[in-house]
Amino acid sequence: MENGELLLRTMPMPADTNSNGDIFGGWLMSQMDLAGGMLAKELMRGRCATVAADAFKFIRPVNVGDVVCCYGLVKHVGTTSLCIGLQVWVRRSHEPSSEYVLVTAADFTYVAIDEQGVKREYAKTDPRLTPERCE
Ligand SMILES: CC(C)(COP(=O)(O)OP(=O)(O)OC[C@H]1O[C@@H](n2cnc3c(N)ncnc32)[C@H](O)[C@@H]1OP(=O)(O)O)[C@@H](O)C(=O)NCCC(=O)NCCS
């Protein structure tokens, strides 16, 4: 992902497979939400909640033992929300020296919330929130 930040690196296990033997889409969605949520929490300096996951594309299957890397880049900065474009790239377990391939992409939107779970404005001080750094 051009200019994207590596947010999470992991490996799926046999318990994460569907009846075809491929990795569940839901497992990938959850890893992406974790990855995006960590970045959102850092950028919004506190609690945040996922409000939307859009434009999901499952491009290639993921297999047990693949090295799974999730990259993210801020796409839109709102008043209380933040949209992060996420991409998952994998290196195949049976070809350890192969190139990484793009398997999944989606846009996740997070809202900054206070202790009561009510939306709040957040400071736009992090350089990753400036328009020239966004996608
Ligand atoms: C987050 C939450 C507090 C916001 O509630 P709200 O006060 O009604 O929020 P609003 O509808 O005014 O939206 C707040 C921001 O989110 C954005 N937003 C809301 N729904 C959105 C959607 N479907 N797609 C993109 N952006 C969305 C709004 O545009 C607004 O952005 P801005 O302030 O940057 O302009 C509430 O939706 C909530 O608690 N949701 C559940 C969160 C949760 O449990 N997540 C885990 C899901 S498994």
Please, which contacts does 29-35 make with residues 24 or more away whose CB atoms are closer than 8 Å?
29/53, 29/56, 29/106, 31/68, 31/70, 31/88, 32/70, 32/86, 32/88, 32/104, 32/106, 32/108, 33/108, 34/8, 35/7, 35/8, 35/70, 35/72, 35/86
pLDDT level of residue 2 (50, 70, 90 thresholds): low
Predicted local confidence at residue 93, as pLDDT: 83
**Which residue type, as a one-letter code, is found at position 36?**
G
pLDDT digits (tens, 9 = 90+) for 61-103: 999 999 999 999 999 999 999 999 999 999 998 887 889 999 9
The mean pLDDT of the chain is: 94
Q: Is 113 in the pocket of ligand 1 (CB under 6 A)?
A: yes
Spatial distance between the Cα atoms of 74 and 92, rounded to a whole number of angstroms:
27
Whole-number pLDDT of residue 109:
98
Beta carbon of 10 within 6 Å of any ligand 1 atom: no
| Cα 50 to ligand 1 centroid, rounded to whole Å | 8
Question: Structural domain boundaries of the chain?
Answer: 5-133
For residue 4, the CA-to-ligand 1 centroid distance in Å is 24
pLDDT at 134: 73
Please state which of the ranges 30-44, 47-61, 91-105 shows the lowest mean pLDDT.
91-105
Ligand 1 within 6 A of CB of 116? no
Distance 119 CA to ligand 1 centre (A): 8
User: Domain 5-133: which topology?
Assistant: Thiol Ester Dehydrase; Chain A (3.10.129)
Residue nearest to atom 48 of ligand 1 (CA): 50
